Every structure is written in C-alpha cells, then in structure tokens.
Structure 1
Amino acid sequence: MVGAAPSTDAGWGEGKTVLLATTWVQTLCSAAMLLVPTLAPQIAAAFGLPTGLVGLQVSLLYGVAMLVSLQAGVVARRLGACRASQLAMLVITLGCAVALLQTPLSLFATTLLLGVAYGMTNPAAAQLLARYTPAPHRNMVYSIKQTGVPLGGILAGIAAPPLTQAWSWHVSFLLLGCMSVLTALWLQSRQPRWDRHGEAATSGKGNGSLALLYRRRSLRWMGLAGFCLAAAQLSLISFAVAFMVEELTITLVMAGIVVSVMHAAGVAGRLGWGFMADRLGASLPVLIGLSIGIAVLFSLLALTGTHLPQWLVVVLLVLAGATAIGWNGVYLAEVARTSVTAEVSEATAAVLVLTYMGVLAGPACVALLVWLSGSYAISLLLPALAAVMAVFCLRRCGRVHHQEQASWQQ
C-alpha cells in the first residue's frame, strides 16, 4: 500500500492554508469539548446539577465521539472532507445554542452534539492533509494540526472564566457558536477547490471503520497502540493535580501551574517529535522511543516520586507531559503514511475508535487502582504498563505492515 501524497496540482502554499484551517477547526472543537468542565461550578449551579455530575460530561462526550468515528471516515469521503469540517462547525454552533436553554436535558443534548462534532473532525482533517501535504513534511504538519487540542484547552481556560465573571456563562457559548459558524462560512470559500476531487465518487466500499480494521491487521495493531498511549495520556492529565496535592503536599495553585507547564511541554513535544520524525524519515521508531520514555517516566514517578525532591518530581512530570501528551501528531502521520489517499479518513477514524476507548478506560482503571491501593503514586504503574504494551503493539504493527505490503505486491 502506498502512502498518501499531495495532489500534483496542489502547491505547498495551498497546503499551508489547509493546515491553518484544520488546526483552527481542531482548536474550536477542543475548546467546545472543554467548555463545560472549565465552567463546571457555574454550569452546575445554572442547570441545577451536582458539580461532579457535570464532570461526567467529558466521558460521555468522548464516548459519543468514539461511536461517531465508526462512520466519520465514510462521511468525510462521501460529503467531502471540507464539507464534513463545515458540518462539524455547524453542529458545534447548534450545540452551543441548545445549551442556552439551560435545562439538564439541553446539557445532555449539547454533549451529544459536541461529541458528534469532535468525532467528525480528525478523519476529515486527515483526508485534507493527506492530499495537500508533501511527504517530507508529513509528521511536522500532522503534529502542528494536533496542537489544536491543547490550544483549544488554553482558549477555553483563558477566555471562558473571565467572560463568565464579567457577564455570564451564556456569553462563552454564544462566542464559541459565532466563531464556529464564521469558520464554516470561511471554509465555504475553499470547499469547491478542496473537495473538487470528489470523495463521494471514490471506489471504496464505505463500510466504515470496523470493516477497515477487519481488513488491515496492521491498522488493528496501530489502533491498540493508540488505545495504550491514550490511556497513559489521560491518566496523567486526570490525576497529576491529585498526585501533587495529596502525596507531594504541593499547593493547589502551584499544582495548577505545573499542569499548565505540562500542557505547554506537550505542545512543544508534538512539534519536536514531528520534526524529529521528518528528519529521520520514519515515524514508527519515534513512536516506539516515546512509548519507552513514557514507561520509564511513569515508573520513576510511581516507584520514587514520593521520595524525590519536589523540584525533581516536577521535572519528571513536565517530561511526562512532553512525551505522554506529545505523541498524537506523529501517530496520525504514521496512519496516513501507511494508507492510500482515498482511505486516509477511514483509517484515521478506525484507529480513533480504539484511541477513544483508551481515553475512557485509562482514567477509570487508574481510579480503581487508587481506590484499591490508596496511592496515586503506585497507581501510575498502570499507565507505565500501558506504554510497555504500546511498544509491543507498534513493533507488531511494523512487522505486519511489511507482510501486507509484500502480499499486495505479489
């Protein structure tokens, strides 16, 4: 199977515009996903719900995104990748509008709509990037696009609380809805050009992500690696503050600062690992190296974290952020590299189904281990084990892909 390549009539200048658009769409989707958790106390009070119940919204949203990914690749091919991105923006706008009804049912509906939008975004972006990105820049381009995830968190964290304090939580939803619909309108100026190749007319079967997972064993191994890495990433994000405050006696304010630095390290990591993979001309060795690094860092935190000086633990946490939060761009670039252009959206959707399962399973399993052991530190051995499993899956993926290539050439 040949890797995805940009179309011959599309210059890298157009590719940069595609990268800007897909990164911005990813940023808005990420901000929408994190808006309710960012404003959890205000939302809970306004909707008459316990704050803890509002916190479950992220898990539900990811669950919906996982289910949507089953067919998101097919949608991107049949409607066109740019049209699918426009649809995601309009779904966010609708979700924000429904939230203004301010009832528990409307919050549930908003969560469903935002989950649908989030599940549609990556497959559509992958289809566009695969067509317009030169192969030597693939890893860096996908890594830049994936910075939209933490950038969306930064946007929600910086803008939403001040807007809510100055006016009300409604303003944050209104602003996000307006930004989304304006983005959809701007994309319309590009849609005829970006979708002119006619994904709807491609010869693929269009049976969805599960069919592609069934046909390609290498993709199954890649998806399982994504499951493991996503479990490690969300375990770190979900329990870093609790670990620092309850077991390292770091103040809540300082712990929040450390987590912000961890996310910043994740952004830098996504760019750095993408640059490294492009220089090496190979994504898989970088992913394996990152997985080994994640396993080592989590093991050190689990076994020695409570005995080391606080500054050294903070350094380890920041390094964990650079690795456990920084793998996504190179990962999606490898999926694109091993797929033909017409199947990139479906292949991306396929691995994301398993990746979202890791997002749901990782924090839940760590929480169970914390309950059983009474220790956040010891519980970090679980994501370390997940990273070791990711190494195995990635190595199997590489071997199986070579076997598949040999069979296709016969």
Structure 2
Amino acid sequence: MAKVEHTELISGSDRYRWFILTAAVTAQMTAAVSTQGIGVLGGFIQEDLQLSNTDIGVLAGILNVAPILGLLLAGEWLDRAGERLVIGIGALIMGLAMTSAGVVTSFIALVSCLFFVGVGYSTAQPGGTKAVFHWFSPSERGLAMGIRQAGLPLGGVVAAAIFPSVASKLGWQSAFLVGACVIISGGGVFCLVYRLPPANQEGGGKPSHNRQQLIDYARTLLTIPMFRLAAVSGVVMITIQTVSLMFLALYLRDQFSLPLVVGASHLLVMQLAGAVGRILLAAWSDHVREGRASIVLFTALGTVCGLAALGLLSIHGSSSFMFLVSAWLGFFSFGWYGPWVAWVSELSLNERLGATLGIAMAINQLAIVLTPILFGWLVDESSGYAVPGGLLFVTLMIYIIYAGVLLWRRGGSRTSW
C-alpha cells in the first residue's frame, strides 16, 4: 500500500521541531477549552436554564455538528493554505463565538453560538496533527503525536480548574468569556511560532483537489481494511470519551448527591490521566511490533474495566475509589487518541494527509454529535444510568471481539498494520 512520502521531514537533530510541538500543544489545549468546557459547565447551565439531560446532550451535539463537514473542508484547506492560516482563523472564529455565548441568556441562543464554536474547532485537530506529522520522523512520531494530542485533555484540565469557580461566582456566561480569551491567545501563539519544515519552504507542491476528488479519495480509503478498522475504532472510543466528558459530573451528582464542583474535580482528574495516557500510549506504539492498532485495542480493554468499575461505585462508593475510577477511565478512554491519530496519519495516501485526517475525524464527529443526545434521552426515559451505561458496555465488548479477531487474522507483521 502506498504511503505518504517523507522526503519533507527535517533532520531529527533540528531543535526547532520541539518549539513547533509546543505551539501545536498550546493551540490544541486552548481550543479544547471550548469543547471540554461544556462537560464542566453542563450542570451549571442545566440548573440555570432548567434543562433536561436530553437538552444537555443537544448542547454537546450541536457543538460538534459543524465539524462533520468542517473537518473535511479543513483537511482540504490545510493541504492548500497551510497550518498557520487555518489554525489562526479557526481560533478567531472560536473566540468570537465563545464571546457571543458569554452574553446570551436563552437555550436557543446558546445552541446557535456553540454551532459556530464547532465551525472554528474544525481546524484545530487536523491542523495541529499535520504540523507535527511533517516535523517528526516515524521513529518519534508516536511520542510527538501523543504529546500533541494530550493538549485536548489538558484543555479539559484548564476548563475544570477555572470554569467551576468562575461559574459559581459570576455565572456560566462569564466562564465562556474567559474561555474566549484563552482560545484567541493560544491561536496567536501558534501563528507566531509556526513555520514550514526546511524542505517545504520552497513552496509549491500543494495539491489542488475538487469536491468530487475528495469524495473519490474517501471511497478509496474506505476500501482499505485497516482504515475501516481505524474508523470503527475511532467511533467506538470517541463515543465513550464523549459520554464520560458530558455526563460524569451529572452521574456523580444524581447517584451520589455530589456537588457539581466536586464532579468537576473528577473531570479534572480524568483529563489529567487522559493527557498522561495519550503521551505514554502513543510513545509505546512507536516500539510495539504489532503496531498502533493493537495499542488502540488495548485501550478499549482498559476502558471496559473502567466502565465496570464505574458501575460498582454504588457498592464501593468511597471517595478514594471514585477518584481512582475517574483516573483509570481517563487514562484509557482519553488515552486511545494519541496512538489512533498516529495510526490514521500513516494510512494516508498520495500526500493527502490533511484530507485523510479530515475524513477520519469527520466520521468520529457523527458519533460525537449523536451519542450525547441519545445517552441523555435514555437517562431521561429510563430514569437512570443503568440502561444507557449497559449499552455502552455491550457496544465496547462487541468492538473488542471484532477488532481482536481481525487483527489476529492479519498476523504479527508490523508493516501489515
């Protein structure tokens, strides 16, 4: 199978690649304050606007509607315009939309603002990933991707550390205004620091593709068994991640009468563990003979154990056990993304890295949009978390069996992954 040519990669001795990585992490971390902050602020918004669990799911869903198409367009735009312009404009759009969310007082108006936050966020994931891909060789790429992808849960850490205090004292609208300042600052840092790798500075070579070519390329990717497995893996794992982010604090409130501020501390622990997981698991994937796909499957096994432990909280409901479960679930249900994005990047064909990332991430977005709405609705309809939680557990088990059988049949050659 053809793979992206790596002639554009710089020498491994060039120290500037670490400045690029730092800028990419900063841009991702600050952008993620918007998406991860909804999980932290959801309870405050719910109490103020008298919303149902389904409504909270809608807030998470609408934030991620625009990236379904936006990621595809952003991927193509990246291949044409470059990372600095795309990420800079995306950060500006997010900042303006977050500012608007900070002055609204109704559910419908907030939904509208979050849609445009999602428009801007479409640039953050593929843009930073492509920047890191071109600056690091394959032997370091898993580690670099893991560090870069740690920016997303670190954004959740920032949100969990700041937003509850601001929301409890000044209101959830003020938290959105703080988030706007953080996002614009992070995008500005990336624009100031980023430059092309030396081999790419001559310009030219940027592909120009129309929409039909993008559709044809997506169809080609979907004929590749490993890309199909990567897509299924992404959908299943992002479902667990999204539900954990949106409903963990509400679950702890409803089941154990814990204040939302305490629930936010569990989110902080979960996100910190997720950041560590993304780095360690991605670095591990650089050295595992079976390849990055096997690491993603391993994270699914860890997540199953975390979900089972979460269901046992009613039996062992001590505070220390609760935080241990939050950390465990975060390490695996957030940590999978580091090795996964490196895996997808290496499946790219014909120097279409931006488009490949956009397609894979757009598929994930379908799950991100639908699952919190469905999960919230099931919580409302069943008056509890047992039914939707059980469905998550069963879905994850089916995926583990499917992926395990497929990878076992393909054998142990690293190049076959």
TM norm. shorter chain > 0.5: yes
Q: Percent identity?
A: 17
Q: 2:337 aligned with 1:351, yes or no?
A: no
What is the rounded CA distance, in whole Å, between the counterparts of 2:370 and 2:213 in structure 1?
A: 23
User: Which residue of 139, 143, 163 maps to 1:140?
Assistant: 143
| Aligned residue in 1 for 2:185 | 179
Contact 1:243 1:377 in 2 (8 A): no
**Per-residue deviation at 1:351?**
1.1
| Aligned residue in 1 for 2:67 | 65
Contact 1:229 1:291 in 2 (8 A): yes
| Aligned residue in 2 for 1:22 | 24
Q: 2:129 aligned with 1:126, yes or no?
A: yes
**Per-residue deviation at 1:38?**
5.2
| Aligned residue in 2 for 1:361 | 370
What is the rounded CA distance, in whole Å, between the counterparts of 2:97 and 2:204 in structure 1?
A: 27
Q: 2:16 aligned with 1:7, yes or no?
A: no
What is the rounded CA distance, in whole Å, between the counterparts of 2:105 and 2:29 in structure 1?
A: 27
Shift in alpha-carbon separation, 1:360–1:99, aligned structure 2, 3 A: closer
Contact 1:73 1:123 in 2 (8 A): yes
What is the rounded CA distance, in whole Å, between the counterparts of 2:216 and 2:410 in structure 1?
A: 18
Shift in alpha-carbon separation, 1:238–1:3, aligned structure 2, 3 A: same
Deviations 1:178-214 (A, max 9, x none): 5156336514x62696963647633766647644331
Deviations 1:230-287 (A, max 9, x none): 1111222233234334335556554443332222211121122122212325211111
**1:239-388 correspondence to structure 2 within 5 Å:** 239-248=247-256, 253-281=261-289, 282-302=291-311, 304-308=312-316, 310=318, 311-312=320-321, 314-340=323-349, 342-388=351-397
Q: Kindly provide the amino acid, as one letter, of the partner of residue 257 in structure 1.
A: S
Shift in alpha-carbon separation, 1:191–1:134, aligned structure 2, 3 A: closer
**Per-residue deviation at 1:145?**
0.9
Q: Kindly provide the amino acid, as one letter, of the partner of residue 196 in structure 1.
A: Q
Contact 2:30 2:183 in 1 (8 A): no
What is the rounded CA distance, in whole Å, between the counterparts of 2:57 and 2:385 in structure 1?
A: 20
- Segments of 5+ residues of structure 1 without an aligned counterpart are none
Q: Answer 1 or 2: which has greater helix percent.
A: 1
Shift in alpha-carbon separation, 1:372–1:78, aligned structure 2, 3 A: same
What is the rounded CA distance, in whole Å, between the counterparts of 2:38 and 2:244 in structure 1?
A: 20
TM-score (normalised: structure 1): 0.81
**1:204-223 correspondence to structure 2 within 5 Å:** 207=212, 210-216=215-221, 217=223, 218=225, 219-223=227-231
Contact 1:77 1:199 in 2 (8 A): no
TM-score (normalised: structure 2): 0.80
Deviations 1:27-85 (A, max 9, x none): 1211133556656799899xx96666687433211111222112221111011123222
Shift in alpha-carbon separation, 1:130–1:309, aligned structure 2, 3 A: same
What is the rounded CA distance, in whole Å, between the counterparts of 1:358 and 1:316 in structure 2?
A: 24
Q: 2:163 aligned with 1:155, yes or no?
A: no
What is the rounded CA distance, in whole Å, between the counterparts of 1:237 and 1:97 in structure 2?
A: 22
Shift in alpha-carbon separation, 1:337–1:185, aligned structure 2, 3 A: closer
**Greater Cα shift, 275-284 or 164-173:** 164-173
**Per-residue deviation at 1:324?**
0.8
Contact 2:85 2:191 in 1 (8 A): no
Contact 1:61 1:111 in 2 (8 A): yes
What is the rounded CA distance, in whole Å, between the counterparts of 1:301 and 1:20 in structure 2?
A: 34
Shift in alpha-carbon separation, 1:6–1:275, aligned structure 2, 3 A: farther
Q: Kindly provide the amino acid, as one letter, of the partner of residue 214 in structure 1.
A: R
What is the rounded CA distance, in whole Å, between the counterparts of 1:112 and 1:381 in structure 2?
A: 30
Contact 1:262 1:317 in 2 (8 A): yes
Contact 2:149 2:337 in 1 (8 A): yes
Contact 2:65 2:118 in 1 (8 A): yes
Q: Kindly provide the amino acid, as one letter, of the partner of residue 175 in structure 1.
A: C
Contact 1:231 1:360 in 2 (8 A): no
